[in-house]
Structure 1
Amino acid sequence: MSLHQRPHQKPPAAGDSLPVSSPTASTAASRPHPLLTLPYLFSLLAVLLFVALLVPWGPAARPPSSSSSWRSYTLQDAAASAAAAGNGTVLLAAVSGPYLPFLSNWLISVRRAGRADQVLVIAEDYETLDRINAAWPGHAVLVPPAPDAQTAHKFGSQGFFNFTSRRPRHLLQILELGYSVMYNDVDMVWLADPFAYIVENHDVYFMDDMAPVKPLDHSHELPPPGKKGRTYICSCMLFLRPTEGAKLLLRKWIEELKEQPWSKQRKSNDQPAFNWALNKTAGQVMFLLDIFS
């Protein structure tokens, strides 16, 4: 026999007999299984019919997740909530994902001043919208279309221009809803409540972007234009009332941004356009300079 040859089975001897089923086993095999009886099948069919009537065909509809529900959250609803907490005034900031640590730092100082309930954050991407509202429901809204804001754009880049040029539109929309608005960049903190310094009844309040410290009795008029023919007013902290003068300034700001788009040669941002708009509407808008500095 070769090594891999299967061994032959020994045939049964003449006296040997194959196993024969006993009468009991044969009888049991011939009986129908209790689960296959006609009454059981009718019962199973009735249960399936009952389930079919109660449960709709196809997969059950999933309830909207918390993140998807914020996609339909509007600026009108968000601003109304913030303004209700602030006696008609919205405290506005705009951030994308890379700047969330700045937002957290700024919010600490705002909370210390007791103004956190007035805060409305314009989220510039959907991930930021979901993250803020997951931790702080209702305090973030996205105004479509969302720009490409997943990276931290450098100052002077086209991405930075696209990000900041949306600012006057957000502000104008809130004024059109009838609310006052304070806008803050988030790379700052409050040392005191700035609302204590908003005096009289002007359209717009802002501060100079020049380095020299001014005396307490300095003029609140626009300073003379710089070497580029315009002033250097900072757009990083603004307070605007829902007046025609403030709306006029914002519309002019939007126009100036269209006339001065970003280019590789100019590498502009929103602030020069704001200053041109401010200079061109100076006789029509009531403003107060350097109340926050």
Structure 2
Amino acid sequence: MSSSFLHQRQQQQQLLSNPSPTSPRSLLNQQRSTISLFSRTGLLLLLSLMVVLGVFFPWIGVFSGFGSNQSSDLKWREYTLAEAVSFVGKNNGSVIVCAVSQPYLPFLSNWLISVSRQKHQENVLVIAEDYATLYKVNRKWPGHAVLVPPAPDAQTAHKFGSQGFFNFTSRRPRHLLNILELGYSVMYNDVDMVWLKDPFPYLQGYHDVYFTDDMTAVKPLNHSSDLPAPGKKGRTYICSCMIFLRPTSGAKRVLKKWIEELQLQPWSKKAKSNDQPGFNWALNKTAGEVDLYLLPQAAFPSGGLYFKNETWVQETKGLHVIIHNNYITGFDKKIKRFHDFGLWLVDDHALESPLGRL
């Protein structure tokens, strides 16, 4: 046998006697030849590795980001009302709620700017009425939006007087009742509102339900806080767009009656109802059992009063707290009216909203 053959045989025996070498280095040391980094073969291997990394590495980030968004969306899809309320109400036991579908996102941002100026934005919970809104809000402001299934038809939910709008607004008392059952006080606002001052100091005493008058007739500054007398239709004209409820049996009784009234008076082509008449019937029918409180008109005027009675606005200047842009329909008309009165904040102050620029 040649000496080279004997040397190879010895190497094979060493490998068999130690099948699991402690490191690759120990194997390499046993080889008679190595590949130098600067050899032709080494340079080719290095170049190939660089090409592979250059082609495939950028895609790793893309797929990672794609998977991350999907995971985030799934997380918020499974986010429950109880979890959301616990998150936003952890500081003071109160939750500020609005219900929003995608077409109203600019109004949501405008309203949030005004709420943020009063330092109450962290207590806001957006009840998203479609998944696009749920994901949009939670990506920009994690934890502050929740969807309570099933989601209503997003295409018709924003058209006042439509069945979709009725289906959208009729969910409101159920949402509020669920929050009260969790033990939290809750303020509801429509997002076509603007806060000029902090409304919480006006929630005096410990009443069950606080609400605002929707009438345009001027009341004296020291008007009664009792439920007003019924109007021509046999019921009051209280606005269902600004309500504050404490987690009491009385407030829960009003909400249950409201739900019942909406079931008794469903939407039809003849009676294109919304949630507000049902709320008024609920107040009227429980008035003797529940502690109700009418908020001051000068602080919480209807849009029909604030935007149409310039004399009254001047006489009550400095007293206004929340302005409601009602008594008008249509996105463009509402935005123009806000513009005309200096209340459309999104254009110049978008970064004050927790959502930033949408």
Q: Report the TM-score, using the length of structure 1 for normalisation.
A: 0.77
Query: Is residue 213 from structure 1 mapped to residue 218 from structure 2 by the alignment?
Result: yes
Going from structure 1 to structure 2, the CA distance change for 1:168 and 1:152 (only over 3 Å counts) comes to: closer
1:162 alignment counterpart: 167
Query: Is residue 200 from structure 1 mapped to residue 205 from structure 2 by the alignment?
Result: yes
**Counterpart among 82, 85, 94 of residue 76 in structure 1:** 82
CA distance in 1, matches of 2:182, 2:157: 31
1:8 alignment counterpart: none
Residue identity (%): 71
One-letter code aligned to 2:229: P
Contact 2:157 2:166 (C-alpha < 8 Å) held by counterparts: no
One-letter code aligned to 1:162: N
One-letter code aligned to 2:88: A
**Counterpart among 233, 242, 245 of residue 250 in structure 2:** 245
Going from structure 1 to structure 2, the CA distance change for 1:150 and 1:65 (only over 3 Å counts) comes to: farther
- CA offsets 1:173-215 (integer angstroms, 9 cap, x no match): 0000000000000001001000010111100100100012322
- What is the Cα deviation at residue 290 of structure 1? 2.3
CA distance in 2, matches of 1:231, 1:137: 39
The SS at the match of 2:193 is coil
The SS at the match of 2:273 is coil
- What is the Cα deviation at residue 224 of structure 1? 1.4
Aligned-residue CA RMSD (Å):
1.4
Contact 2:214 2:238 (C-alpha < 8 Å) held by counterparts: yes
Contact 1:122 1:141 (C-alpha < 8 Å) held by counterparts: yes
Contact 1:97 1:150 (C-alpha < 8 Å) held by counterparts: no
Which aligned pairs between 1:5-16 and structure 2 lie closer than 5 A? none
Give 5+ residue unaligned stretches, structure 1. 1-61
One-letter code aligned to 1:282: A
Larger radius of gyration: 1
2:325 alignment counterpart: none
2:46 alignment counterpart: none
1:22 alignment counterpart: none
More helix by share: 2
One-letter code aligned to 2:281: W
1:107 alignment counterpart: 112
The SS at the match of 2:261 is helix
CA distance in 1, matches of 2:118, 2:275: 29
Which aligned pairs between 1:17-96 and structure 2 lie closer than 5 A? 65-85=71-91, 87-96=92-101
Q: Report the TM-score, using the length of structure 2 for normalisation.
A: 0.63
2:240 alignment counterpart: 235
CA distance in 1, matches of 2:119, 2:218: 28
One-letter code aligned to 2:205: E
- What is the Cα deviation at residue 151 of structure 1? 4.7
Give 5+ residue unaligned stretches, structure 2. 1-66, 301-358
Contact 1:185 1:236 (C-alpha < 8 Å) held by counterparts: yes
One-letter code aligned to 1:163: F
- What is the Cα deviation at residue 227 of structure 1? 1.0
- What is the Cα deviation at residue 223 of structure 1? 1.4
The SS at the match of 1:65 is helix
2:5 alignment counterpart: none
The SS at the match of 1:109 is helix
Query: Is residue 187 from structure 1 mapped to residue 192 from structure 2 by the alignment?
Result: yes
Moved more, 256-265 or 223-232: 223-232
CA distance in 2, matches of 1:150, 1:193: 34
The SS at the match of 1:231 is coil
